[in-house]
A and B are shown apart, each in its own frame.
Chain A
Amino acid sequence: KQEVTQIPAALSVPEGENLVLNCSFTDSAIYNLQWFRQDPGKGLTSLLLIQSSQREQTSGRLNASLDKSSGRSTLYIAASQPGDSATYLCAVNSGYSTLTFGKGTMLLVSP
């Protein structure tokens, strides 16, 4: 059974700092990995999707990397802003489009 772990559970940084969120998974036989953002009381918004054959994906200030063999992914956020404050969720697709989620990292960026 696939298990996904996210570290740290919570992170507080001052505005402007670069930061890294970590995600690890137990079964390396994955199709893809997605990073989501969830604002309080809201649904999930997809940020980046990395296929199993890819090493990284970039969107604006976000960069996600994938090391399938070691079961790890990182989400790098450059020049963090208060508007980046949210919970970030990592989810692994091991087949049939079904996702296994980590419990998330709650990020607070203070002005």
Chain B
Amino acid sequence: DAGITQSPRYKITETGRQVTLMCHQTWSHSYMFWYRQDLGHGLRLIYYSAAADITDKGEVPDGYVVSRSKTENFPLTLESATRSQTSVYFCASSDEGRGGTDTQYFGPGTRLTVL
């Protein structure tokens, strides 16, 4: 039971490059989320998805793009990376979005450094 996995775990890139962070869950959870964690800000929601082909913005979506063609995958793309996007990125999933009744399960995180 793999649960929720993220790849890569560590990534160093340069300003202006495109970067894609992968997230995969094996539970067939309907909801998936991307958060970033920064010192002083805590965890902030970037994008979320209620089901395949349904995505919506969170608190800090600028500079990010998501897609969800399959229930189990939710990639996050930085189209042109900036230094301010240096952060730890967490993917999460949960089942049942109606009324927000269920627990969110988090992946191990991807530490991204933009030089």
Nearest CB of A to B59, in Å: 8
Chain A residues positioned under 8 Å from B109 (CB to CB):
42-43
Q: Tell yes or no: B84 within 8 A of A by CB.
A: no
* Total chain B interface residues with beta-carbon distance under 8 A: 29
A98-B45 contact in complex given A43-B107, A44-B106, C-beta closer than 8 Å: yes
Chain B residues positioned under 8 Å from A94 (CB to CB):
100
Q: Tell yes or no: A108 within 8 A of B by CB.
A: no
Chain A residues positioned under 8 Å from B44 (CB to CB):
101
Chain B residues positioned under 8 Å from A96 (CB to CB):
48, 50, 56, 97, 100
Interface residues on A, range: 20 to 34
Asked if A89 and B43 make an inter-chain contact with CB atoms under 8 angstroms apart, the answer reads yes
Q: Which residue of B lies closest to A47 (CB)?
A: B103
Choose one: B41, B56, B104; the contact of A46 (CB below 8 Å): B104
On A, residues with C-beta under 8 Å from B are 31-32, 34, 36, 42-46, 49, 51, 89, 91, 93-104
On B, residues with C-beta under 8 Å from A are 31, 33, 35, 40-45, 48, 50, 56, 58, 90, 92, 94, 96-97, 99-109
